[in-house]
Every structure is written in structure tokens, then in C-alpha cells.
Amino acid sequence: MINGHVSGLTNGAVVKISTVQGDSLIAKSKVKDGYFTIKGAIAEPGLYWLTLGTEQPQHIFLENTDIKVSGDKKDIKNIKIEGSQSNNDFNDFKQTFNPLVGELNAVAAQVNQAQSDDKRAELMKGYDSLTHIINTEVEKFVAEKHSSFVSPFLLFITAQILDDPMVMQHRFDMLDANVRNSNVGKSLADFIAYNKVGAIGTDALDFTQNDVNGKPVSLSSLRGKYVLVDFWASWCKPCRMENPNVVKAYQKFSNKNFTVLGVSLDQQKENWVKAIENDKLAWTQVSDLQFWNNSAAVLYHVQGIPQNFLIDPNGKIVGRNLRGEALEAKLCDLLGCQ
């Protein structure tokens, strides 16, 4: 139940709780002499909108406790919310992360507007430093608030910034069981599982497709070697521009327990075979000629090409999207360049 007293609200003004996504009404009440009461229950703690009359909606992290709202209409952004530990945690989250994310976005804008590579590189150092700070603060927050429903919320909204599903899994495992097994916890688990596909440190998913001669080839048949699974297509200009780099790496490392398995998103076999010949791709090539519906591409959540995954002899993914000099440098680290 929410009891409130906000000065300046007119009699009859509607106070409502609604969802952040979709703005669906959860509960409402009317103001009388500045006071209002909203009754109801929610399945689990979560972030909602609190709208007081015609004022700008404010975030409130609700839970099934007696909550008190107080303040003044003239200072609507600073209304006081008491009685919800989840909302206290949310305030801690805002105090820590809002300034950091704001600064990160500002630096990102500067990076995009940089006029020279040197300036961009200098700005990226600042961007990476801020990302490191955010990463450290996320770890600290989750460790300290492992029983809070604000923690999975935090993991969701920082996922794009930190972009490491294995670290997300580690932090998810830190959460209390009741949080992990909640609706938001299950959604987060599904999100992590989806993004772990193809992630460094995970097991490569096996698949089988036919080569240019119609012979089925499975990824697992190459177990024991370092394998670059290279998604490309004859119609993809960036892929064709990248192919010489892959050829160079293949020629340099194929005698050091390294090979490539090309997976084409072509539709026309003739175009596929011609591109293989023209680009002098000497390694095994497979395709089901289903364009973006290529079963291996769907399995690995490939939504853009070129894209590749480097797999070690034990079937673990140890690199991804290695292009240009980055591919050779990684192989040098793993196999040596002497």
C-alpha cells in the first residue's frame, strides 16, 4: 500500500502506478486535501512509473510493503519515497551509475566526432577507463546487494556497455536464489544464455553442412585443431575484402595445427563456387544455400557478415570477429610466429 502527501496537488487529481514498458495501468487513486492512498500487490519488486496528477512521471521501485510518498508538486523530481528497500537500492544505483553512464555517453559522442585517428585513439583510452570503472562498480553493487531486485535490473541495463555474457553469468550466479528464480531472474537467465552462444570461453556448437561436392562436413570432425569458423558470402563485399587476410593467415599457420571452415550464406551455388575460386580459398567450404536462414548462422546468432569464431583443439571458443592483423596476432599468440 502507498500512502502519500504531496503539497500542491489539486483535489480529484489522479495518482497512478503504471508499467515502465507499455505504460499499462496497475493501480490508481484520487487526491483529497493533498493525500492519497493506492492499494494493490505486485508479483515481485520492480520498476514502475508514479504519476501525480498532470506532473511528469517519476520512477519508483515498488515492493509489497507499506510505502510513504511525500514532497511538493513544485519539486516533483525530488519527492521522497520511504518504506521500500528496493527503492533505496534504486536510489543508490542512480547515484552511482547515472553520472558514470552520462560521462561515458559524452565521451562516445566525442569519439564519433573525432577528426583524426590519433584523437580518436586518445578518446578511446578515456572511454575504456570509464568502462572499467563501471564494470568495477557493477561487481561491487551486485556483491553488496545480491538479495536486491535492483541487481538484475542493473545487469540488464549495463549488458550493452560491458558486453561479456560470461561475466554476466558470474554475477547472475552471485544473486540469491529467490532473485534468480523470479520472473526478472528467469528473463535475465534467458538473456544470458542467448548471448553466451558464440561467446569466448564457451563450447562451440556443432553443426553439419555439405561442402561444394555435396559431402557432409561437421565442425566436430575438425576437433583437435584450431579452427576459424568463417561466416561469409560471395555477395558480401566486406567479406570479399577480408578474404585475403584469411588466406594469408591460412598460408602462415595451416602447418601449425590450424585450419578454416568457411560457412557461406549464399543462395546460388554457382556464385559461391566462383567466389571460392576467385579468392583462392583453399580450405573446406560448406553451405546449405539458405541465405540468412543458413542453419549454422542461425545457430550462432549471426546477424552480420563477415563474422568468425576461433575454436581451440578442445572445442572452446577462444576468439571472435578477428579481422585483419588481429587474426594473425591472435594466432601468433596461440601458435607462435617463429
Q: Going edge to edge, which strands form the sheet with 25-30?
A: 25-30, 14-19, 46-52, 58-62
Cα(270)–Cα(46) distance, rounded to whole angstroms? Answer: 55
C-alpha to C-alpha distance for 314 and 201, rounded to whole angstroms: 11
How far apart are the C-alpha atoms of 166 and 172, rounded to whole Å? Answer: 10
Q: What is the mean pLDDT of the chain?
A: 95
208-335 is classed CATH 3.40.50.1100: no
Range(s) within the chain of domains with CATH label 3.40.30.10: 208-335
Q: What is the DSSP letter of 321?
A: S
Task: State the DSSP code for 64.
Answer: S
Q: Return the CATH number of 2-83, one of 2.70.98, 2.60.120, 2.60.40, 2.30.30.
A: 2.60.40
Identify the pLDDT of residue 338: 66
The pTM of the whole model exceeds 0.85: no
The C-alpha cell at 222 is 575438425
Cα 61 to Cα 49: distance, rounded to the nearest angstrom? 9
C-alpha cell at 190: 534467458
Amino acid 29: pLDDT: 95
The confidence score (pLDDT) of residue 263 equals: 98
Tens digit of each residue's pLDDT (9 = 90 or more) over 196-243: 999 999 999 999 999 999 999 999 999 999 999 999 999 999 999 999
Residue range(s) occupied by CATH 2.60.40 in the chain: 2-83
Q: Tell me which residue has cell 510513504.
A: 68
Strands 35-38, 2-7: pairing is: antiparallel
- What distance in Å separates the CA atoms of residue 289 and residue 284, rounded to the nearest whole number? 15
